[in-house]
Amino acid sequence: MPSFAGLIAGPVAWQEPPAWMRSTEIDELAPPPPPPAASWAAALAISGALTNTQPVTEPGLTQAGALGRAFGADWYDRIHVLPARLDVGNVISTVVRTVEVWNAWSVTRVLGSITAEGGLDGVALSGPPAPPLAYLPLASRLYTVTVATAGPAVIDHQLLFDFGSELPRLAIVGRRVVVFGFAPDWSGGMDERLEWVTEVLPAYDGSEQRVRLRQAARRQWGFGVLAVDQDATRLDHLLFGWGGRRYALPVWPEADRLPSPLAVGATTVMVSDAALKDYRAGGLLVLVRDAAYSEAGEILSIAGNTLTLKLPLANAFPAGARVMPALLARLDGEVSLSRPHEGLARCTLRFTVEDDVDRAAAEIGPIWQGYAVLDVRPDRSDELDETWTRTLAVLDNLSGMVSTDDTTGAPLRRRQARWLAVGRSAIDAWKRWAAARAGRANPLWLPSFADELRPTATIAPTDTAVKVQATLYARMVAAHPLRAALRIETVAGQIFHRRITGATALSEAEESLAIDSALGVTLAPADVRRMMFMALARLDADALELHYETDNVAVLAPRFVEVLQ
């Protein structure tokens, strides 16, 4: 800025104002007092350099506005992931795709990290060196995405490329399942097998200790398939190409019919009795129009009977198409396929489910002395089978007398009965009951369901003894622990459970059974419908099988063995 030498001029001489400006209060003849001499002297002595202060900053004016971008502004000055969404479809074999990451800035940008939301189960990213990695101006790099056949059924991953101020994403979506869309041949029904593992440690006296070794039951489904014409060839190819991999296996007994069509992109599906079926958040459902047209979807959430899907449907389904839960399952062992004639194929299949989740355990009957009572009467259209086994310790040196010891003093009975579950609620209740049993782990009270004892006298409210017809109980049983639990059913529907503490033969026709507590009511002999024994029993095997005769009727025939307390 230029500087100039200069001088500050002194004050001008005083001049009397015009007459029209004169004040009547001021003496016009008196001159104004001069400034002090020191002040004039100081003013006249000021001199120095002149400083230019121009230009002077003026107050700014702010206006709101928007920047109008052209194509170049939309394309440059950002990071691009191409493509941003990678749909691999149905993964039948390993899928390899190439993705480009482009720095569209005119300056170098640094990739700090690559992170995956929710992990990368079954998906691998390879290519350039690991971050941190510098991207030169307008430079791009190619990455390889590999999707394996092993992994979650639904592929939904997000990869984040962290460039500091920018986080471009790569979405990887697809499905890793093939729906086994062939419906079962209901002439032979379907079998569902639930299997736990229990270690039973028996003692010499017949008592035992049980240790549960498997938390959730393994499930198997077995059924026959009848395929006609082109479906027979389609079944052959489906088993040939995918037989060693996982299927999305529909749970056919829990199928519903769509009341109205579902369009492409639908994210919600309505079903019935969702709480009683195998639907769960994170699980699968399938929609099946026929053996050649089906789709699997992952359930994001369940609200009542409304299922929300994690990804929109890729196909449309008409009204009447079936919707049902699905399980990830593999074929077991050999598949037997027969061809009665050239246009017909028949096979029997057994699948092992891989995503084992038990229903919440729940008992069917009341609890007595710490154990549930199975009070549902069996289907008596079939006989109730019993097998008696005594635990005998035999000492035989082959050269002398044989010594035998009955270690328990009583036979251990094995009993098998058949129960019929009609309706979805009943089937669900029996499955929860099976979860409570956990194979051989948890015993229960098993009534004989027979009219074994008949009262001979009225039972008073305070009586602690019951008189019954003689059945050799006092002589042969004498309140043995395996025959000491008593169940009394009345005509009015009352149920009493008592423990027999002793027995006395009153005569050849009558016995008296002592019980641990009075009934509290008056019961005449005519008021008693049945009196029967109960035994503490567990399942004889860790596996329990339900046979579905239809999608709404299931039969189970468990075998029980009595245990000592």
Taking only the tens place, the pLDDT of each residue in 336-357 is 888 888 889 999 999 999 877 7
Which has the higher per-residue pLDDT, 274 or 67?
A: 274
Average pLDDT, the chain: 87
pLDDT above 80: residue 61 = no
Q: Please choose, from the candidates 93, 102, 50, the residue with its C-alpha nearest in 3D space to the C-alpha of residue 75.
A: 102
Which has the higher per-residue pLDDT, 510 or 1?
A: 510
Pair of tokens at residue 114: 């690559």
Q: What is the pLDDT of residue 539?
A: 96
pTM assigned to the model: 0.74
pLDDT above 70: residue 24 = no
Q: How many CA atoms lie within 13 A of 229 on its CB side?
A: 2
**Mean pLDDT of the 240-263 span:** 91
Q: Please choose, from the candidates 341, 296, 334, the residue with its C-alpha nearest in 3D space to the C-alpha of residue 315.
A: 296
pLDDT above 80: residue 187 = yes
Check: CB of residue 145 under 8 Å from CB of residue 97. Answer: yes
Pair of tokens at residue 324: 């049902």
pLDDT above 60: residue 13 = no
Which has the higher per-residue pLDDT, 18 or 378?
A: 378
Q: What is the pLDDT of residue 47?
A: 64
Taking only the tens place, the pLDDT of each residue in 513-533 is 999 999 999 999 999 999 999
Q: What is the pLDDT of residue 473?
A: 93
Band of residue 6 on the pLDDT scale cut at 50, 70, 90:
low
Band of residue 270 on the pLDDT scale cut at 50, 70, 90:
very high
What percentage of the chain exceeds 70 in pLDDT? 91
What letter would DSSP give residue 13? P
Q: What is the pLDDT of residue 2?
A: 56
Q: How many CA atoms lie within 13 A of 526 on its CB side?
A: 0
Taking only the tens place, the pLDDT of each residue in 480-500 is 888 999 999 999 999 999 999
**Mean pLDDT of the 296-308 span:** 92
Which has the higher per-residue pLDDT, 33 or 65?
A: 65
Relative to beta strand 178-179, strand 208-212 is unpaired
Q: What is the pLDDT of residue 30?
A: 57
Q: What is the pLDDT of residue 23?
A: 52
Q: What is the pLDDT of residue 40?
A: 47
Q: Please choose, from the candidates 190, 320, 201, 186, the residue with its C-alpha nearest in 3D space to the C-alpha of residue 251.
A: 190
Taking only the tens place, the pLDDT of each residue in 355-392 is 777 789 999 999 999 999 999 999 988 888 888 888 88
**Mean pLDDT of the 492-511 span:** 95
C-beta atoms surrounding 534 within 10 Å: 23
Q: Which residue carries 């699948």 as its tokens?
A: 351
Check: CB of residue 273 under 8 Å from CB of residue 429. Answer: no
Taking only the tens place, the pLDDT of each residue in 117-135 is 878 888 999 999 999 999 9
Relative to beta strand 495-505, strand 485-490 is antiparallel
